[in-house]
Amino acid sequence: MNDETPSAPPAPKPPAKASGKPGHKPGGKPPAKRRSPSKSPRRRAREFALQGLYQWLLAGEDAGVIDALMREQEGFDKADSAHYDALLHGCIADAATLDAALARHVDRRTSQLSPIEHGVLLIGAYELKNCIEVPYRVAINEAVELAKEFGGTDGHKYVNGVLDKAAADLRPVEVQAARGGAPR
């Protein structure tokens, strides 16, 4: 026999700390992920334009064929079709000029970027250059959101950095006013 006395049962674990998130009970499961508010028609237009640009960048498909395919996609009726048209057709028609505007701020040729990041940068640069009614910060933020949703793990950081620098070239007065300085 063993001279040791039986050990006491293990002490109960202290209660788990609350995560600080509403609806999260200590020791319980985290709350179910909330559904994000419905997407705006412009956000949907950007998403469809990105999908079309992705196809154009990979396959070199004709813009008219891509446009027809995108319009058949589920949910297209909820997109701002005028903004979609401007983005898809404008980015394709103006790709060389947009790539030139981005070239100073990317670390490699745009043709070597992932097609998602390239497409997002084209959309962001197009909006900065041609959609003056969209504040530059909104154009950058929308591009970053596209990169988060469709791009690689840290692609959104790259997109943010490139477009922030490109904005200073494409909208110098607006950017400098927002940053509290005189335009260059």
Q: What is the 3-state secondary structure (H, E, C) of the chain?
A: CCCCCCCCCCCCCCCCCCCCCCCCCCCCCCCCCCCCCCCCHHHHHHHHHHHHHHHHHHHCCCHHHHHHHHHCCCCHHHCCHHHHHHHHHHHHHCHHHHHHHHHCCCCCCHHHCCHHHHHHHHHHHHHHHHCCCCCHHHHHHHHHHHHHHHCCCCHHHHHHHHHHHHHHHHCHHHHHHHHCCCCC
Residue 17's pLDDT is 46
More confident residue, 55 or 31: 55
Q: How far apart are CA 71 and CA 181, in angstroms?
A: 43
Residue 184's pLDDT is 52
pLDDT of 24 strictly over 60: no
pLDDT band at 38 (very low <50, low <70, confident <90, very high): confident
Provide the CA 43 distance to its chain's centre, in angstroms: 10
pLDDT band at 9 (very low <50, low <70, confident <90, very high): low
More confident residue, 125 or 183: 125
pLDDT of 33 strictly over 60: no
pLDDT of 13 strictly over 60: no
Which amino acid appears at position 4 of this protein? Answer: E
Q: How far apart are CA 162 and CA 141, in angstroms?
A: 12
pLDDT tens digits for range 127-161: 999 999 999 999 999 999 999 999 999 999 999 99
pLDDT band at 183 (very low <50, low <70, confident <90, very high): low
The whole-chain average pLDDT of the chain stands at 86
Percent of the chain with pLDDT over 90: 74
pLDDT tens digits for range 48-78: 999 999 999 999 999 999 999 999 999 999 9
Cα 70 to Cα 88, 109, 148, distances in angstroms: 10, 28, 21
Query: Average of pLDDT values for 84-108?
Result: 97
Evaluated on CA atoms 46, 51, 52, 58, the torsion sign reads: positive
The answer to whether the predicted template modeling score (pTM) of the entire model surpasses 0.85 is no
